[in-house]
Structures are given as structure tokens and as C-alpha cells.
Amino acid sequence: MDRCLSRSDSCARLKFQPIDLPPGSSPDMRACIDSLKVPDAPSATHRPRTIYQVDPEFPEDGRRAKISGSVLLSLTVGTDGRAHDIEVKKSLGHGFDEKAVLAVQQWVFEPAAENGKAVPAQIDVEVDFHTYND
């Protein structure tokens, strides 16, 4: 999941750097100002980003068969930040595909943007199913 820093957090990390100047000279103010610039805000054009993700439920049929792996889904992230037109590109069977789709239907995305405007975007999502032995 993407994490963003607020502008105030970014500014709080700026530190003054001493510079040595020959006696009688004045600093180039443009260089001073450039060195204090705050990092740019996120791009006005970007791909969708996951901001809330639900883990899939492990299907009982898959657990009994001792299967693990990944399901590959193709979907459109709409301007509403939700997954639409979900299709299975790589199946595991045994109930995994259905559980992957159910989980991704609950995810929330920051929609893709072009020039600052939300636009739909086609993406592939890999949903992992692995058992962990203690």
C-alpha cells in the first residue's frame, strides 16, 4: 500500500546547511532557494494505487487439497476507486478464483489520473494464497 507524507512532514525534515563564503561576497540567492525546495507533490498523472486491501479467505476445498499459489486477475479500476469487470487470467481452481474475486471487490483504489483528473484504468492484480506452518 502506498504511503504519502504530508507537506508539513516533508518540511519538518529540511535542515540548514552551513556554507563557506569568502569575506565580502554575497550568496547566490537562487542557489539558496533551490536547495530549500520541498519535494514535489504526487504526480498529476499516475496509475491506480491500492489504498485499502482485504485479504482473501482461504477456501476449505483448497486447504483440504493442500494447495497454495496465486490467482491472477484482470480488472478495471473505475473513477470511483473500485474494481470493475474482474476476470480471472490465471486460475488455481478449488474455490481460489472465487475467493480472490470476492476479496478484490472489497478493495479500494486511488483511481488513475491524467493531468489531475480521475480516469478508469485496466490493471492486473495477483492475489496470493499461502499456508503458513507454525
pLDDT of residue 24: 59
- Tell me how far CA of residue 17 lies from CA of 40, 56, 123, in angstroms: 21, 49, 44
- Helix or strand holding residue 110 (H, E): strand 108-110
**Domain ranges across the chain:** 49-129
Task: Give the CATH number of domain 49-129; options: 3.30.2420.10, 3.30.420.40, 3.30.1340.30, 1.20.1300.10.
Answer: 3.30.2420.10
38 vs 87, more confident = 87
- Tell me how far CA of residue 24 lies from CA of 12, 20, 29, 31, in angstroms: 32, 12, 15, 18
**Does 86 score more than 90 pLDDT?**
yes
Cell, residue 84: 470493475
**Does 100 score more than 60 pLDDT?**
yes
- Tell me how far CA of residue 92 lies from CA of 24, 31, 105, in angstroms: 74, 58, 18
**Does 54 score more than 90 pLDDT?**
yes
CA 123 to chain centre: 12
Q: pLDDT grade, residue 38 (50/70/90)? A: very low
**Does 133 score more than 90 pLDDT?**
no
pTM score over 0.75: no
